[in-house]
Amino acid sequence: MHENIGQGDVFGLGNVGDFSSLYYWSSMQLGNKIAWLQNFYIGFQNYSDKSGHGYVRSIRAF
């Protein structure tokens, strides 16, 4: 998404996904207290304690 519809899109369309430059939580967990985060502004993934701040975004199945 970072390269297709986010801030880093390679098509020159701009941020059509309207993604924030902050992190979004993933549904992928690493135990009870840790989950993955995605930053669509720079295309970076990391994990963090679930008590941290992050956005959520609902999606539908394709």
Q: Which residues pair with 7 in a beta bridge?
A: none
Q: Are 6 and 39 in contact (CB under 8 A)?
A: no
What is the pTM for the complete model shown? 0.58
How far is it, in rounded angstroms, from Cα 40 to Cα 19? 7
Token pair, residue 62, equals 């394709």
How far is it, in rounded angstroms, from Cα 34 to Cα 18? 26
| Residue 9 in this model has a pLDDT that exceeds 80 | no
Residues 6+ apart with CB under 8 A from 10: 3, 4
Q: What pLDDT, on the 0 to 100 scale, is given for residue 34?
A: 92
pLDDT digits (tens, 9 = 90+) for 16-60: 666 667 788 888 888 899 999 888 777 788 888 988 888 787 777
